[in-house]
Structure 1
Amino acid sequence: MAGLAKVLASLTPPPFVNPEEYDGLEFRWRWFVFRPALFEREGYLLLALLGYVIFFVWGRWTNKGKANKWLDAHLSVLETQFSKPKRWIQDGYSDFFNFSTGRRNVASLHTIFTLRPRHDFFQWGFQTARTFIDLQYRPGDDLQLDFKLFPEALAHDFVWAVVSKDELLSVKTDRWDLTWTKTTENAGIPSQFSVMSEFADVTDGILRAFPLAKLLADPKIAPYFRSLSVTDQPRERPAKPLEPNEREKHVILSLRAPSSSNAADTTDLVAAMFSFVDALSKVALRPETKTKLRKVREENDKDIKKEAERDKKEEEAEALEAKKAAKRRAEEERISKLSAAEQKKIVERERKRSIRKSQSKVAK
C-alpha cells in the first residue's frame, strides 16, 4: 500500500499557489479573474492540441480533395466504358475505393487510392522520419486500377509486367505472382522501364498486339507510372492449390497518385488501358511456349499442394502433442489429490511397467 501511495503522490499535480503579488496581464469580470502567466504550461498544451486538430482537418481535406479531383477528371472515361461507374467509398481518411462494372472483357474495375496519413500527425511524422533512416523507404500516394477480366479476355495463362526501374527493388516483395518472372531489358520499351516476363515470347506477343512503347513514351506518364501487369495468379502465395472457379485474371495498373492540380495527367493512360485489355485476346504464342506455361503452373500447384500437406501434418502432430500434454497434466493433477500411499502404489506400478518394457526390448 505504501508503494501505491508513493506512485499516486508522484502523479498528483502540485497544489496551485496563488501569489499574493502579481503584476502581469490580468483579465477581470465581476468575481472572475484570469491571469494568463499562471497557466503557461496549460497554454502550451492547448496550443499543441489546436495544432493537432488543424493538422487533422487539413490532412482529411487534402486526401479527400485529391481523390475527388482525380475521379472528377476521369469520370468521363469511366462513364464511357462502364454502365455502372460509382463514386468513392471512403475507408478512414486515407483510403478511397471506386467500383465499376458493366463492360465487355472486364468483369469489374477496382480503383484504389492509398494516400499518406496526412490526418494523423504521428503516423505522418513516423513515415517522414523513417525516410532518413531507410533510404529504400519512400512513402507516397499510391493509386491502383485493378481490372478483373472475364476468362475469355485473356487467351493464355501467363504473368507479365512492365515496371519502372525505380520500383524493381520492392515489386517482387509486394507481388508473389511477379516472382514467377525474369527481369530483362527490351528494345521496344523506353529505357526507364524493365520487362518482367515468364518467357520472351509472351513479351513479343503483347508488343505485337498493342503499341505499348508509344504509350509509355508519353512524357506525362513517367512521373506517375509504377507498373503495369497482366497475371493469372494471385498476388499473395495461396495456402493451397486454387480450384478452377477460384482462378482469376487481372490487369493491374499501379501509379503514383497525381496532385490535385495535375489530376488530369493520367486520363490518357487510363483510357488506353481499356484498349490494352481488349488487345490481350489477340496475343499469339508459340505452341512450345503454351506447353511451358502449362508445365510451370502444374509444377507450382504440386509444390503448393506438398507444402499444404506438410503444414497440415505438422498442425495435426502439434494438436496431438497438445492433446497428450493436456492428458498428462490432467492425470498428474488427479494423482496429486490422492493419498501418499496410493501415490506410492502408482509410482511403483509405473516403475515395474518401465522395467518390463526395457526387458522386452533387450529380448528382441
Structure 2
Amino acid sequence: MSDPSAENSDVRLQQLREAIDETDSALLNLLQRRKQLAAEVGVVKRSLGQPLYVPERETRLLAARRDEARAVGLSPDLIEDVLRRVIRESYQQQQAADVHLQDKTIVVVGGKGALGGLFVERFREAGATVHCLDQDDWEQAESYCQAADLVLVSVPIATTEAVISNLPELPKHCILADVTSVKQQPLQAMLNHHDGPVVGLHPMFGPQVATLAKQLIVVTEGRQPQDYQWLLDTLSRWGAQLYTTTATQHDEAMGFIQVMRHLSTFVYGAHLAEERADLQQLLDLSSPIYRLELMMVGRLFAQNADLYADIILAHPENFAMLRRYLATFDECLGTLEKGDKSKFVEKFAEVSAYFGEFSQKFLEDSQRLLASADDAHQLSQVARR
C-alpha cells in the first residue's frame, strides 16, 4: 500500500521544480532584454566617442545592486557574481565596429602574428587603412611607411631592436610605438630611430582576449605625448585601462610580475614532469585553490616556449634577484628540515605584516575565483562520468 504523504510530497516536489523552471525562463527573458539594452548603449557610446568600459559606472552599479540584494534577503556576493558575468558578456557584445579612424593609415610590423593580428583587426574595425609588414614582404616597408600615421612594432623581443633600426624613415607626424614586454631598450631604439612622436606600450594580456574592455595596457612615455594622444584615446575608447609609468619602473616591476613568476611556474611544471606525477589524480584529490594553481602551471605549457624564454632572457639583470629567491627558498626549507616550527611561524608573521591589508583583500578576491574554478571542476567531473 502506497504512502499518501509520500505521494503528496512527490507531487509538491514536481510542482516546485516546474515553478523553478518557469522562474528560470523568466530570468532568461530578462537577460535577453538586458542584452538588447546593452547593445543600444554600445551604439550610443560609439556615437558619442565614449569608452567601452567606465570603471566608475560599473562600481556604482554593482554597489547599488548589492544594497538591493541585502534589502530583499539575497546574498550580495551572489548578485555581484551574476552581474559581473552578465556585464562581461555585454562588453563583448558592445565590441562592435567603432569607426573613428577613417583618416588614419597604420602599419603593424608583425601584423600576421597573434598579438599583432589582434591590433590589425581592431584598427581595421575602426576604419583605418592597415598594412601588415612582416619578414616576407619587407620590400614594401618604404611604401607602407611613407604615409603612415602610426607604425606599431609587434615582433619577438629578441628581434625588436633590430626591426626598429631597419625601419625606413618615417613621416615627422607618424607615431612609432611597440607592444614589447621589455621597455627600456626598445623605447630607446625608437627614440634613436625616429624624431617624431614615440611611445612604448605593453599589453598585459594575450591575443586570445575577446574584448579589450578592462584589459591593462602599460604606457611608457617617449616623446611628444600630445601627438600620440589619439592612439591612447583609441585604446581607452576600446575599453582598455591605461597605466603610465617610466620604462625603468616598468622593467623593474616585470622582474616580479613576469620573469620570477614565469620561471617559478616553469620549474614547478618541470619538477612535476620529472617526478612523473599523475596529473589526473592530482586534480581529483586537490582543493579548489590547488586546482587553480595547477591550471596556471599547465596553461604556461600550452603556449609559445620562445616567448617565455625571450621574456626571461631579456631581463638578465633579474638573475641576481632570482638567486636571492632561491636562497630564501633554501633557508625556509632548512628551517623546516630542522623541525623549527617557531622560526617558521616567526617568518610567517613577518611576511604577513609586509602584506598588511592586502592579505584580507586577496583572500576575499581569491574566494570568488575559487568558487568559479570549483564550479568548472564539478561540470568537468559530470562530463567525464
Please report the TM-score for the alignment, with normalisation by the length of structure 2.
0.26
More strand by share: 1
TM-score, length of structure 1 as denominator length: 0.27
As a proportion of its length, which structure holds more helix? 2
Rg bigger for which structure? 1
